[in-house]
Structure 1
Amino acid sequence: MRMSISDSADGRPNHIAAFVCNHWHSTLLSLLLRLGIVGAVDFASCILEVRSRSNSSGATDNSGNPISNISSATAITYELCKEVCGSGAEPFVWNIFSQQFTAWLLPYLALVAQLPFGADIKFDNVVAVLLSVGSPTLAAYSLAITTSNGHWIARRFSRFSYPNVRNAVQILSRLQQTPIKVITRGSLLASLVVLSENDRWWSELVNGLNYTHTWSISSVASIIWVSIAYLFTVIDSFTGTITLSTLNANGQGVGSVYLWLLPVVIGWLQLGPKCDSVRLHQAVDRVNIDAYIASERGPIPADESEGSGDRAISLSKRTSSLHRDEQCSPPIYNYARFLSWVQAVEDVYQVFEEASERAERHVSVDPSIPWVRAEKGGKLRPENRRGTLAQVELYARPRRAVHRSRWGPDVLSRFLVSSFLALALTWSTTGAAVIVVWFTPTRGLGCRSGAYILYGVVSTLVWATLVTSSALAHYATQPVDIYGDGVYPRSTRFAARLSIILRRLGKVLATGNAVWIVLACILQFSSFFDRCYCNSSVLGLGSFAYDVIDLVPGDVATMKAAWIGGVALASGCSALFVGWISVFINPPLPPE
């Protein structure tokens, strides 16, 4: 099956992912070919030499218990293995490497191309790839929080009946991939919501943001390729002949550790994020030209473009280092926009709340104009939504003091749910990979399982570091109200510096982790880990380490049971993650 990796999920060229798939692994492969030639060990000859010895010192069974007859030994101690065979690895075997690499790793590297990107700066797309591969936790968290936000905003606005509330939900939900900016001072936002002349602004922006075709032949082919490859290789690993020569090169662990990529890609394709930075800015700038603002002189509104240049809703173009990630449109950066997006939604929510409550009580914007009833099932009459600048501003002003949280409503609950889903997906797939290699003789913590555990730990650390960085950035942006003046105390400046440090640290860790997991998988396929140290699980067993040189029926049964459990854990949690996304995606919108 052939597939294209030149297009990302948002339809834009994705040369970065193609470069990763076509060039990166070839450089590593040339390095492994050199490593396989130097210091190669023939373990078959070593085992014959061990069994021909008259001294039984170092002979054990497959549980590490010493036995007296070395000729019938099925395992040897790590010290004996190192003494007879040395510390080198088995020679590189191209047939094993090419088969395992093509079946287990290559489909996932190709699937990376289907992640949504869309930044106008190519380097941001590169970092998005590294963040996704280096931290599945962050990738799953950004997807979960985006889905949760869309469901939350639809429910929060559902009780309003004011015109354009349905459009507002769609617009705000689709602008999660951008640093949305809402200006509440004056009557800009009030005019945008209240005046009937701005109805066209809302409808045209909805149409302008409705451009992404999420599913494509390329994306479907990639998903089918990965699914079939995973299914066939799992079946082959259970039905094929299990021998020590190919056991440790088995790709069960690799297939599980990368399985998180499948539900994340499917989730983004279902969600269809609007992440083309150029098109988003063009759509918002285009409609803002036709926005109207209430006039001080009378009920006829003025063109907003004739004013100061400020817009009620626009896309921020801040270039400060503190808000660097907020400006990046790839959806994996939604973690950085979560809190600021919630605050922008709350600004719009309060205006719709006040306007809707007054309209339900049949109060016109201009008190001197009697309320004009609409026809049954019809929209609010334009006469009821017309007034001077002062009247429009008063119409949308809260009638009572409103205490606004620095973080926003229901933020903690959505954060906890999204974090749980992200951590569950990460550690179910990583844990499944660990289980597969942990119960592969010699059982215990070794080089392969240690590599997977390190990958999961660093993935979680990257997520925690970057989420903390985004919270500190939001804290540093919010001034403290002292006697009516916004003041930025010393603590906010410290939070800003710490946020930048944590963000850069998280990206460095993610980059290293992405390189590490690809390199670790290639080293496994190339027999680099097939050495006395790794095969003896020295990391976990320490001085009691031993190397299994012959399988017994009990080993095969235990190993297959562990493989079944690993496959069930990884595939089951991945299916549940996709199921959760499918349930909460596309929530019912408020009636128009």
Structure 2
Amino acid sequence: MTLPVLSFFRPLLPQLRQWTRAWILCLMLAASVWATNFSTCLDEVRSGQWGTIGGTDNSGRPVSNISQATAITYDLCLRACGSGPERFNWNIFSQQFTAWLLPSLALASQLPFGARTRLDNLVSVLLTVGSPTLASYSLALTVLNGHWLAGRFSHLSYPNCTLKNHFSLHSWYFTPTITFKFWVDLEEWLNGLYPQSWSLSAVASILWVIIAYFFTVVDSFTGGVVTYSTLNSNGQAVGSVFLWMLPVVVAWLQISPKCDYTRVKGAINRANQIAFVATPDGEPTLASNISTKRAISLRKGGGDVHSDEHCTAPVFNYARFLPWTLAVEEVYAAFREASQKSESHQPVNGSTWERGDRNIRVRPANRQGSLPQVIAYIEPVVKPWAFELFDRPRGFRSRWGPGVLSRFVLASVLALGLTWGTIGAAIVGSYFVPTQGIGCRVGSYLVYGIVSTVVWMMLVASSILAHISSFTGTSNGRYVYDKSTRTAAVASIILRRTGKLLAASNAIWIVSACLFQFSSFFDRCLCNSSVFSLGKHAYNAIDLLPEDLVRSSLMSATLNAPWGAQSSLWVS
């Protein structure tokens, strides 16, 4: 059915192109005809053409002589100037777009992806741009989890304990006996996935953003950028609203997350081929000879509730936080028991301890035994063969894992600080542009920050509810939910889908708001009069005095410089 349809529309493509060009040309002509010229409008007001009432100074105070007015009230602005925007200026649009927005969009291409499908990669981009709070939160969690993991295993002495990588696997299956070579080879193969995290394109994109932002601060102090014709279309605030992306991208490049699903899965499969397990007769055998389950594997299934846990892009680390902590705790508990008993010179098989040397501290003979002996050696941590993380009796151990609250609070503070530190600078900087107050520009940045925070709250709550719904049994490989867990699962799905929809809308919103600002779409009576905060006292400052430009310029520079320093400090 597809080919006949394409064949039918193919002859119409040249005409469709012509119609599209004509439509765009008509829109540009209409914008030029109906565009507002505020300088001409103010001259008409000063001449008395629109009466003697409604003229103000740039602070909103009425003037006694209409000819001395430098600003006009919002009502008079609508009557005299109309509700349309200023004329579109291609030179201003292209300069501001390439200087402020394009570097940030290019920097977004350096974010780590690696999901199984292109749709998941697209969703990760929309989540990152639509909710910098969520992206910063996942990044902070990754760093904090890495430090916690290193500290958790640092005091263990068992030879198999070589967990140096911060694995972001969906779920772990732990077997009673895993060879030392398994851990060594898995670490080498995972490290070999990303031999070099920094590329020339990444460095160029980062330098582009840094230089552009540096020019923002310098030009703000010198006053070289701010003029009356470019004041409302200037992109200084845009440089601040996307500044959060710089520390996020740099941090991910520094961490070099192992998030490519295909390559990580391949490394795990290779390591699992040499995974040995204990048997009842005491002779270790390959895990593949007993079951399809392996030492460590990516969890399959789980339903729609755990779909975000399967997405390997780092922005989804928020969804893996709680199950990952419990998975690590399972492995840690087993190694802790084995380390304590090996330090007491207790072999697995219960016989005489064979002393090691400098090269082999614990001889292999001390670590071998039958399946019941291995289970007793690491009790009460694991079941006879291997069990899925969530298939456990109630009250078996903490459902949340150690230290989750402190890491959650610290990651939340860092994420909120970075989000509102950068977006807040754009909000306050635009607030002090005459007319001072909340207009379309400040309002668009404020909406962006609020929605970003709301999306983060919804998705974090969704991950908690998904974790709560996991404490249930399984039957024939399917999850069995009771009333409470089913309610938590449904609420988790609703929150997650709504949050993603808001994040996608927020990403489109902020890019559109920046384009509106560069194209003078926001340069109209409604936006220039700060109606949202001043209300009936709203006014439009048109004839800006030199001190107004200097004050606005210095305020923008004073705000931007400290927030840029804070973002750099956050990365370090």
**TM-score > 0.5 by shorter chain:** yes
Matched residues in 2 for 1:283 and 1:354: separation?
28
Question: What is aligned with 1:339?
Answer: 322
- Counterpart-to-counterpart distance in 1, 2:33 and 2:63: 34
Distance in structure 2 (CA, Å) of the matches to 1:445 and 1:280: 48
| Residue 257 (structure 1) aligned to one of 228, 241, 244 | 241
8 Å Cα contact 1:182/1:347 also seen in 2? no
Q: How far 1:145 sits from its partner (Å)? A: 0.2
Q: Quickly say closer, same or farther: Cα 1:236–1:164, change in 2 above 3 A.
A: same
Among 340, 343, 348, which residue is 1:365 paired with?
A: 348
Check whether the contact 1:180–1:315 (CA below 8 A) recurs between aligned residues: yes
Match of 2:563 in 1: 570
Paired residue for 1:532, among 525, 528, 533? 525
Deviations 1:229-272 (A, max 9, x none): 22124323443163322111111110000000000000000000
Counterpart in 1 of 2:287?
304
**Secondary structure of 2:252's match?**
helix
Q: Secondary structure at the match of 2:226?
A: coil
Q: 1:399 to 1:503 in 2, by over 3 A?
A: closer
* 3-state DSSP of counterpart to 1:76: strand
Alignment match of 2:493 (pick from 490, 500, 512)? 500
The aligned residue for residue 305 of structure 2 is: 322
Q: Does structure 2 retain, via aligned residues, the 8 Å contact 1:32–1:526?
A: no
SS in 2 for 1:244: coil
For residues 310 and 408 of structure 1, the distance between their equivalents in structure 2, rounded to whole angstroms, comes to: 24
Overall identity of the aligned pairs, in %: 54
Structure 2: how far apart are the matches of 1:337 and 1:31?
Answer: 51
Question: Residue 545 of structure 1: which of 535, 538, 543 is its match?
Answer: 538
> Which aligned segments of 4 or more residues in structure 1 are displaced greater than 4 angstroms?
29-35, 399-403
The within-5 A match list for 1:108-127 is 108-127=104-123
2:42 aligned with 1:47: yes
Paired residues in the alignment total 531
8 Å CA contact 1:256, 1:566 repeated in 2: no
| Alpha-carbon spacing, 1:32–1:294, altered in 2? closer, same or farther (3 Å) | farther
Moved more, 34-43 or 409-418: 34-43
Residue 209 (1) aligns with residue 196 (2): no
- Structure 2 residue 263 is the aligned partner of structure 1 residue 279: yes
- Look up the equivalent residue of 1:438 and give its one-letter code: Y
**TM-score, normalised via structure 2 length:** 0.89
1:200 matched residue in structure 2: 181
Contiguous gaps of at least 5 residues in structure 1: 1-25, 184-188, 193-197, 580-592
Match of 1:397 in 2: 379
Paired with 1:330 and 1:30, the residues of 2 have a C-alpha distance of: 42
Once residues 514 and 209 of structure 2 are traced to their aligned partners in structure 1, the CA distance between those partners, rounded to angstroms, is 17
Deviations 1:345-374, CA, capped at 9 Å, x for gaps: 010011000000001111111112x11121
Establish whether residue 516 from structure 1 lines up as the match of residue 509 from structure 2: yes
Distance 1:248 1:440 in 2: 8
Give the structure 1 partner of residue 431 of structure 2.
438
Contact 1:432 1:569 in 2 (8 A): no
- Work out the CA distance in 1 between the residues paired with 2:170 and 2:518: 43
Letter in 1 for 2:116: D
Amino acid at match of 1:394: A
Aligned amino acid, residue 179 of structure 1: H
Paired amino acid for 2:138 = S
How do residues 47-126 of structure 1 correspond to structure 2 at under 5 angstroms? 47-53=42-48, 55-126=51-122
Cα displacement (A) at 1:487? 7.6
1:168 offset after TM fit, Å? 2.1
Structure 2 residue identity aligned to 1:206: E
Whole-Å Cα distance in 1 between the matches of residues 124 and 27 of structure 2? 27
Amino acid at match of 1:381: R
**Residue 398 (structure 1) shift:** 3.4
The whole-number CA distance in structure 1 between the counterparts of 2:227 and 2:278 is: 80
What is the CA deviation profile of residues 9-34 of structure 1, one whole-angstrom value per residue up to 9, with x for unaligned ones?
xxxxxxxxxxxxxxxxx9xx999857
Contact persistence 1:36–1:528 (CA under 8 A): no
Which of 206, 210, 221 is 1:223 aligned to?
206
Distance 1:32 1:161 in 2: 73
Superimposed CA distance per residue, residues 161-201 of structure 1 (whole angstroms, 9 cap, x where no aligned partner)? 11132x2242xx1x21x313224xxxxx2212xxxxx1111
* Contact 1:469 1:500 (C-alpha < 8 Å) held by counterparts: yes
Q: Does 1:243 align with 2:256?
A: no
**Partners of 1:432 and 1:565 within 8 A in 2:** no
Aligned to 1:13: none
1:351 maps onto 2:334 in alignment: yes
Q: Deviations over 1:380-405 (max 9, x none)?
A: 11111111111111101139999621
Using the alignment, how far apart are the partners of 2:25 and 2:163 within structure 1?
Answer: 54
After superposition, the Cα gap between the structure-2 partners of 1:235 and 1:56, relative to the gap in structure 1 and judged at 3 Å, is same
CA distance in 2, matches of 1:128, 1:341: 20
Compared CA separation, residues 33 and 341, structure 1 to 2 (3 A) = farther
Shift of the 424–41 alpha-carbon distance from structure 1 to 2, 3 Å rule, reads: same
Deviation of 1:139 (Å): 0.6
> Once the 2 structures are TM-superposed, how far is the Cα of residue 440 of structure 1 from its aligned partner?
0.2
33 and 366 in structure 1: CA distance in 2 versus 1, 3 angstrom threshold: farther
Q: CA deviation at 1:222?
A: 0.8
Distance 2:30 2:329 in 1: 58
TM norm structure 1:
0.86
* Matched-pair contact (CA < 8 Å) for 1:97–1:525: yes
Which residue in the other structure is 1:289 paired with? 273
1:365, 1:395 within 8 Å by CA — same for their partners in 2? yes
Query: What CA distance in whole angstroms lies between the structure 2 residues aligned with 1:209 and 1:30?
Result: 55
Tell me which amino acid in the other structure corresponds to 2:103.
P
For the Cα contact (< 8 Å) 1:74–1:551, is it kept in 2?
yes
Closer/same/farther in 2, CA of residues 257 and 399 from structure 1, 3 Å limit: closer
Inter-partner Cα distance in structure 2 for 1:307 and 1:91: 75
Matched, 1:141 2:137: yes
CA distance in 1, matches of 2:185, 2:225: 63
Kindly state the Cα deviation for residue 480 of structure 1 after the two structures are TM-superposed. Answer: 8.1
Contact kept? 2:104, 2:209, Cα under 8 Å: yes
Q: Which of these residues, 160, 174, 177, is aligned with residue 191 of structure 1?
A: 177
* Root mean square deviation of aligned Cα: 2.2
Taking the aligned partners of 1:201 and 1:151, their CA distance within structure 2 comes to: 23
The match for 2:385 is none
Q: Residue 313 of structure 1: SS of its match in structure 2? A: coil
* Aligned equivalent of 1:467, options 443, 460, 466: 460
Indicate the SS of the match to 2:523: coil
Instruction: Give how far 1:290 is off.
Output: 1.4
2:420 is aligned, of 427, 430, 438, to: 427
Assess if the C-alpha contact under 8 Å between 2:516 and 2:522 holds in 1.
Answer: yes
Code of the aligned partner of 2:185: E
Bigger mean CA offset, 342-351 vs 233-242: 233-242
Distance in 2 of aligned mates of 1:191 and 1:375: 22
1:163 aligned partner: 159
- Please give the secondary structure, in 1, of the residue aligned with 2:72: strand
- Structure 2 residue ranges without an equivalent (≥5): 1-20, 383-392
